[in-house]
Amino acid sequence: MLKIAVLGCGRIGRMHAENIHAHPRAELAGVFDVFAPAASEVSQKLGVTNFASAEDVFASENVDAVLIATSTPTHADFIEQAVAAGKPILCEKPIDLSLDRVNVCARNISGSELPIMLGFVRRFDPGHRAVRLAIEAGQIGDLHQVVITSRDPGMAPDAYMEASGGIFRDMTIHDFDMARFILGEEVTEVFATGSRLVNPALMERLNDWDTVSVVLTTASGKQCIINNSRKATYGYDQRVEAFGSEGMAVSENRRPHMTTLHRGDFTGQGAPLLNFFIDRYAEAFAAEIDAFVDTIENRVAPDVGFEDGRQALVLAEAALKSVIECRPVKTSELG
């Protein structure tokens, strides 16, 4: 049994703790949260250690690996500490809101061969993954266009929005990673357009956007379009379409069940899409833990690592620059 400790007991940390607890080849080594009651609740419910500090987690001989689900500003520090302690890492995205800090972190941990896996959970979604597998199997021929639709069911609280780093670093970053996952080729140019349509006053105040469209292009001419909105009233809209010389693969939205209603005024589902990310990506979050366990057991590099986290942030920075300067931005401009 691989013993994994969880740092951060917010809703995403709690969910990871339960998934580790349920995993047949892993066990939950304990939890930590800077807000003690949060960790205490989880430790009692699942009968595991409540660590007094992150340092204690890293120092514990009873911990084989760590899952970092704390607030974003702590990620880079904890990655460095975990590397120093020799503990394999699964870290929630983003590594940091600052590309500079990420680059510093990269230097600080260079040379380490510890597995560092980034929590781009959507790569583990069976539907999105089926798109990539279809491409790899040649079922759509050469890839030409990718369309990623990603709309949140509703806007987070103002406090969250203020600390989020803006839509590109907080929300689109998942889509930038998905684009790289599907394109299989680095993006060379980013054009983004941003609007303030959901909550114009807040967006104005934060100098942010709630509705964005992004066009990515690669050296070979592949095109990828990303649509984002902070608020889809019909649920969590998560689709990936890949179009190629021999066909198309589309990962459609998931629903709470496959039951439809037929009535005089409508025929379809009498419900919105799944609208909570933990429900929508439940299978993906479980598969992510599975992949992390595999990575450590088999001593292989994770499918999605530190550099993937850095590249997604490069695209976020390029998109931000594109909106501000009203022009397409080469990723090479960001070094």
Does position 201 interact with its own copies (CB under 8 A)? The reply is no
Does position 3 interact with its own copies (CB under 8 A)? The reply is no
What's phi and psi for 264, nearest 5 deg?
-65, -25
Amino acid at 79: I
Q: Which of 142, 162, 204, 333 binds its own copies (CB under 8 A)?
A: 142
Interacting span for its own copies (CB under 8 A) from 93-101, 113-121, 215-223, 294-302: 215-223
Q: Which of 130, 155, 156, 334 binds its own copies (CB under 8 A)?
A: 130
Which stretches within 47-93 are classed as H helix?
A: 54-59, 75-85
Q: By C-beta, is 172 or 251 nearer to its own copies?
A: 251
Short-list 11, 164, 14, 7, CA closest to 81: 7
Interacting span for its own copies (CB under 8 A) from 32-40, 62-70, 100-108, 191-199: 191-199
Does position 159 interact with its own copies (CB under 8 A)? The reply is no
For helices 11-22 and 36-46, give the axis angle rounded to 10 degrees: 20
Does position 40 interact with its own copies (CB under 8 A)? The reply is no
Does position 264 interact with its own copies (CB under 8 A)? The reply is yes
Q: Which of 268, 297, 300, 307 binds its own copies (CB under 8 A)?
A: 268
Q: Which of 2, 10, 21, 106 binds its own copies (CB under 8 A)?
A: 21
Place of tokens 């839509």: 167
Task: Name the β-bridge partners of 238.
Answer: 150
What's phi and psi for 100, nearest 5 deg?
-60, -45
Site for its own copies in 42-101 (CB under 8 A): 45-47
Q: By C-beta, is 252 or 307 nearer to its own copies?
A: 252
Is the Cβ–Cβ distance between 284 and 126 less than 8 Å? Answer: yes
Site for its own copies in 97-126 (CB under 8 A): 125-126
Does position 231 interact with its own copies (CB under 8 A)? The reply is yes
**Size of the residue set binding its own copies (CB under 8 A):** 82
Does position 31 interact with its own copies (CB under 8 A)? The reply is no
Short-list 239, 237, 212, 240, CA closest to 145: 240
Place of tokens 């995403």: 12
From the CA atom positions of the chain, what is the Rg in Å? 20
Q: How far is the CB of 280 from its own copies (least distance, A)?
A: 11
CA distance 217 to 136: 20
Interacting span for its own copies (CB under 8 A) from 2-10, 84-92, 211-219, 310-318: 211-219
Q: Which of 107, 157, 159, 259 binds its own copies (CB under 8 A)?
A: 259
Q: By C-beta, is 101 or 231 nearer to its own copies?
A: 231
Short-list 307, 302, 309, 303, CA closest to 115: 302
Q: How far is the CB of 61 from its own copies (least distance, A)?
A: 20
Burial class (CB in 10 A: 0-12, 13-18, 19+), 52: exposed
